[in-house]
Amino acid sequence: MTDLTKIPVTVITGFLGAGKTTLIRHLMANPQGKRLAVLVNEFGSVGVDGDILRSCADENCPVDNIVELANGCICCTVADDFIPTIEALMARPERPDHILIETSGLALPKPLLKAFDWPAIRSKITVDGVIALADAEAVAAGRFAPDVAAVDAQRAADDSIDHETPLSEVFEDQIACADIVLLSKADLAGEAGLAAARAVIEAEAPRQLPILPLTEGVIDPKVVLGLGAAAEDDLAARPSHHDGAADHEHDDFDTVVIDLPEVSDPEALIAAIQRLAREQRILRVKGHVAVAGKPMRLLIQAVGERVRHQFDRPWGADPRRSALVVIAEHHDVDEAAIRAVLGA
């Protein structure tokens, strides 16, 4: 690679728990001879996804090439975080051949694309493509919005109402910015669910997009990498609810970190997390938990009432700290009530 060659960047977006980290793990394991770098942006101060990806580091994507930007949306902290991080990657003796960016589940991708026009980096990198992941089962059921039926009822009762819920705006902006949409968890959705999810996305997309099913993050890397979209030069074709705004806020969402004592009954904790989704409208829970008598960390990833958990690696020299990141719309976050349910 010559110094004049722009390094391609793939932006991977998608709602909370859609499977972005799982896809990146697959791409890291199948780099096609390329030296990769990964930028992962978390909503909240505890980085779970970055920790998962660092455990997958190898010679094609060493630990130093996995950079975590936590506690701030990447598209809101361009000058402070994103630009310096890209410049640092470019300055390394072995520059990456391809950069993967995992946005937070609450990020709007278009403001990030605009950052690629900054003079400091425009000549060095280009957006190879924007990949949007959508949870097929959730989309088919309309769960990308907190309560679709209530919103529809309000609209039917009052013709003056003409706005989207925050969750649906995020979903629509991610789809509108995409070059490819991947319907994740296709095995859970089934054929009927995939068809329903595809219909929703086709109705929201501003142009015809490839929409492909995905299970456990497995897809031929040649399908999603090397698109040559130069998306930073194609912003007009990627409309956003926030076009024309100087910036955007994430005050619609909030996050709390809950420290827990060592857990003796993981199933009881999982039931409590499901109760949070059901009773307090919690969108997402993720983190690591110390289980009594177990030398390995219990990784928990929850989207609504669907909870996945597995022992991922030994604690080793790390402190046996149980911490869960809980994300919901701002008005649904009651820290005391969350702690009460989790037994914190």
Single pTM value for the model: 0.66
CA angle (174 as vertex; 163, 128 as ends), nearest 5: 150
The span from the CA of 163 to the CA of 167, in Å, is 12
In the block, residue with structure tokens 């499977």: 19
* Joined tokens for residue 218: 């497995």
pLDDT for 214 equals 92
Q: Report the 10 Å Cβ neighbour count for 4.
A: 7
Cβ–Cβ under 8 Å, residues 102 and 24: yes
Handedness of CA 26, 32, 33, 39 (dihedral sign): negative
The bridge status of strand 180-184 relative to strand 211-213 is parallel
Among candidate residues 152, 146, 194, 189, the one with its CA nearest the CA of residue 167: 146
Torsion of CA 318, 323, 326, 331, to 10 degrees: -130
Profile the chain (344 residues) by mean pLDDT over runs of 10 residues: 71 85 88 86 50 51 61 50 79 87 80 79 88 91 57 47 58 90 92 94 90 92 88 83 56 78 93 91 84 90 80 83 84 89 86
Please count the other Cβ atoms lying within 10 Å of the Cβ belonging to residue 37: 24
Taking each helix axis from N to C end, the angle separating 186-204 and 166-177, rounded to the nearest 10 degrees, works out to 80
The residues facing 102 across adjacent strands are 12, 40
